[in-house]
Chain A
Amino acid sequence: MIAIDRLRKSKNRTRILRDVSFEARPGRVTGFLGPNGAGKTSTLRVLLGLDRPESGTALVNGRPYASWPRPLTMVGAVLDGSGAHRARSARAHLRWVAASNGLPRGRVGEVLDLVGLAGDARKRAGRFSLGMSRRLGLATAMLGDPPILVLDEPVNGLDPAGIRWIRDFLRTSAAEGRTVLLSSHLMGELAEIADDVVVIDHGQVVAHGTVAEVTGEHRTLEDAFFALTAEAGRTWPA
């Protein structure tokens, strides 16, 4: 369970989060939808204790993320890319992460199998393709077998096979009872994966509910999205 309550944050004197509140529940995939720069990544960074809000709270099963003694057993997070140092092998990266949270070394092999990277364990992260980096990021997130997954734009830039793999992975995770929160600006994709949707625009939550509720009278989630956000007013050349 993730509970975000009235988060506020400014950067360079611009308000980037305006009282952002929503919840993500266990057993469901919650899609966090918004145009680029709407505040998705900022919200997730506050949730993970990377950035500090001016006010408001972001709780993970009732407590701030940073107060959990072995946080990787509570939340697995992927924020764009693997975060592995380019000179390190996938295995070396996973090993230090496992050690930091007192996780058994055996988990490293297990998560590499899980994401299909067992054959590339000795390869340096700097030589990984985008898809492989994403998989390594997911492997890192799954090390502590956490009940909660947080992913920022997980399908961005992936090929169709990669997108399909992530989609199945996240659906399975939710079916196992995990709380899955993922951000995206790809509406079609999100409509396929998510149970619930939170729409954010200019740092403000403009809609929140099941996919059906947010879609409402509109033909698709995409139509609803354009009606709800400022994207409607933006003109693109034909």
Chain B
Amino acid sequence: MAGMIRAELGKLLGLPTARVGLVLGVLIAPLLVLVNAPATRASLADGTFGDPTDLGFRNLGIGLLGALILGVVSVSSEYTSTGEDSPGVRQLTVTLAAMPDRTRLLIAKATALVAVVTAQGVGTATATLGLTELVHGEAVPAPSPARVAAAVLYWVLTTLLAFALTLIARNGVVTLTVLILNSSVVSLSYLLYKVTPLAAYLPDIVGAHMFIRGMDLAERIPPVTAGLVMSAWVTAFLALAAVIFHRRDA
């Protein structure tokens, strides 16, 4: 199993797209702290910002795009054609020839992904929150370790969700487009929430309650409940993806 995880780590980190996702994820959030600094300072001063403990964590959200890219390419790279002269050939053929036990393969793949994204999440959170403290000083209370851990967990769970969805769709472009639009332009779940408050428990928005206090929704979900609900969603999607992956001809 250790060899399989090492193989999957090497595969993931060897992809140029994954490297872009890794660097983008780590750099973009701290950068936003600097870019937003003047506006944030003003809103903190006149009291319109809301909960000041959210400050660093709100900027963290944008870095999630990098983690999403990692989750998607980890699977989509298996399904992209490897050459014009052989459209049916994909890396998946070699992957399954080398690791034919599909359950163990998925575990190795997910483990490698979680390891990379956890490191990325910890690095980004440390840089972003540290920089927030440096820029805003006393105005922002020091973040509690539990909230930082919850934010990293949110990254990991969102990445696994992207991983599972790509495995079901077998296509990275579709999954990545949907996920990016949903997380940056307009969230479908957020629109649904206008219809029913139950939508607050949908997988893409429930997780943020783990570490953001002043959510835009009226619905207040305790952090632990939010974590459990999101974990349940992710487990369900992973299980569904695994069953489909098992039954499908490669």
Contact = CB atoms under 8 A, between A and B. Distances in A.
B234 to A, nearest CB: 26
A8 interface: no
A102 B98 contact: no
Nearest to A101: B98
Contact of A79 (B3, B93, B99, B249): B93
Dominant secondary structure of chain B at its interface with chain A: helix
Interface in A109-145: 125-126, 130, 133, 140
Interface in A68-105: 68, 71-72, 75, 77, 79-88, 92-93, 95-97, 99-102
A96 B93 contact: no
B7 A81 contact: no
B15 A87 contact: yes
Contacts of B250: 45, 50-51
A32 interface: no
B80 interface: yes
A80 B100 contact: no
A74 B85 CA distance: 29
A51 B97 CA distance: 11
Interface string B10-51: 110011110000000000000000000000000000000000
A85 B16 CA distance: 11
Contact of B100 (A49, A85, A95): A49
B89 interface: yes
Interface string B40-72: 000000000000000000000000000000000
A97 B8 CA distance: 9
Given A50-B249, A66-B100, A140 B94 contact: yes
B15 A81 contact: no
A68 B104 CA distance: 13
B249 A83 contact: no
A135 to B, nearest CB: 14
Given A51-B250, A77-B97, A102-B3, A96 B86 contact: no
A83 B94 contact: yes
A102 B17 CA distance: 27
B118 to A, nearest CB: 21
Interface residues of A, number: 38
Contacts, number: 100
A207 interface: no
Contact of A81 (B85, B95, B101): B85
A49 B250 CA distance: 9
A61 B22 CA distance: 44
A157 interface: yes
B3 A96 contact: no
Nearest to B101: A66
Contacts of A126: 82-83
A25 to B, nearest CB: 22
B83 A96 contact: no
Closest 6 CB pairs of A and B: A100-B7, A66-B100, A83-B94, A81-B86, A81-B89, A51-B249
10 contacts: A45-B250, A49-B100, A68-B100, A71-B100, A82-B94, A84-B91, A86-B83, A96-B7, A99-B4, A100-B7
Interface of A: 45, 48-52, 65-66, 68, 71-72, 75, 77, 79-88, 92-93, 95-97, 99-102, 125-126, 130, 133, 140, 157
Given A85-B11, A99-B3, A101-B98, 13 more contacts: A50-B97, A80-B86, A81-B82, A85-B77, A87-B16, A92-B14, A99-B6, A100-B95, A100-B98, A100-B99, A101-B3, A102-B3, A126-B83
